[in-house]
């Protein structure tokens, strides 16, 4: 059954891929995005090029922190996917006020507007940053949440608010803990994009710390698939969406240098506050309850990204 779906932050990296897929499946989609200058707004405008050609698509330019805009965007909506956020662990360390304002006040506005509009399905995009301090790996959803950045704290708080809204108002709210998403349109500030840009120019690649930190990289196509399955089948509660592609940052840089046929050298600089040491997802719950399994392996995903970025350089 087709629906009217509101995607907040739908002009961003993941949101735009998700919006395209929902339109392909025959849904009507509203995107609410403020085209924040955290990175160039023209990048986000380009992200929506395909969507703008679809008669079932509507773009609303506005901020989730503006109650009136959010209430208007919610009119006629059957389901919400809340992607909008001030992303970035390091940004949250430098500017915690903005992170809290967007990720808590803005998120509450969207939840309240959905509740008032009698929306029963609300997908909240959380993050692996909720885990923070590692007690064991891989992380399952029962792992303690002890975030080490303001960004992580806002996502834990968001999950708590979702649980309460679900209990009080009968909304079904799956909370998706994304693990390091990459692929075409990836945010320009993320390591994969920065490393490829340097490698393609044979420039030195700077790594924070000694390169031993590990990440569970998840391809954007797999994330979109998991998010849509959560929209269809997800129950209230957290779900890990992680690709099972855990490699060190040093190994990532080496793979990128190899794929790009580059002569770039790796250099090391001061560690960054708020960065977790390791991430690895146990996605058993998502497999059992949503029927989701990641398909893309890291080498193939990186090659896909390289082909995409080459066309744009």
Point out the residues that are catalytic. Answer: 151
Pinpoint the alpha helices (H) of 201-277. 220-233, 249-259
Pairing mode of beta strands 246-248, 214-216 = antiparallel
Helix, strand, or coil (residue 239):
strand
**Hey, what are 138's tokens?**
């891989």
What whole-number distance in Å separates Cα of residue 109 and Cα of residue 199?
A: 42
In sequence order, the β-bridge partners of residue 174 are 237
In sequence order, the β-bridge partners of residue 238 are 175
Element spanning 111, H or E: helix 107-116
Name the residue among 242, 269, 266 with its Cα closest to residue 254: 266
Pairing mode of beta strands 237-241, 174-178 = parallel
């Amino acid at each position: 059954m087709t629906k009217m779906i509101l995607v907040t932050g739908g002009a961003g990296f993941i949101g735009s891929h998700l919006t395209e897929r929902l339109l392909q499946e025959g849904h009507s989609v509203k995107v609410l995005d403020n085209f924040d200058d955290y990175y160039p707004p023209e990048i986000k405008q380009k992200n929506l090029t395909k969507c703008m050609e679809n008669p079932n698509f509507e773009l609303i330019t506005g901020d989730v922190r503006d109650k009136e805009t959010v209430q208007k965007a919610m009119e006629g909506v059957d389901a919400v996917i809340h992607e909008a956020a001030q992303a970035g662990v390091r940004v949250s360390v430098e500017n915690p006020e903005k992170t809290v304002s967007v990720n808590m006040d803005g998120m509450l506005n969207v939840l309240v507007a959905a509740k008032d509009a009698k929306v029963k399905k609300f997908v909240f995009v959380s993050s692996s940053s909720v885990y923070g301090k590692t007690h064991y790996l891989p992380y399952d959803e029962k792992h303690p949440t002890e975030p080490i950045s303001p960004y992580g704290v806002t996502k834990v708080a968001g999950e708590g608010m979702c649980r309460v809204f679900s209990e009080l108002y009968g909304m079904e709210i799956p909370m998706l803990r994304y693990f390091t998403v990459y692929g075409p349109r990836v945010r320009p500030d993320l390591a994969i994009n920065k490393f490829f840009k340097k490698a393609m120019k044979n420039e030195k690649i700077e790594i924070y710390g000694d390169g031993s930190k590990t990440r569970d990289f998840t391809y954007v196509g797999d994330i979109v698939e998991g998010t849509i399955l959560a929209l269809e089948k997800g129950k209230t509660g957290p779900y890990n969406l992680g690709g099972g592609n855990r490699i060190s940052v040093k190994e990532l840089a080496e793979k990128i240098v190899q794929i790009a046929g580059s002569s770039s050298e790796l250099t090391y600089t001061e560690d960054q506050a708020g960065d977790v040491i390791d991430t690895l997802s146990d996605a058993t719950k998502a497999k059992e309850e949503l029927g989701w399994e990641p398909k893309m392996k890291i080498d193939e995903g990186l090659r896909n990204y390289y082909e995409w970025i080459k066309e744009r350089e």
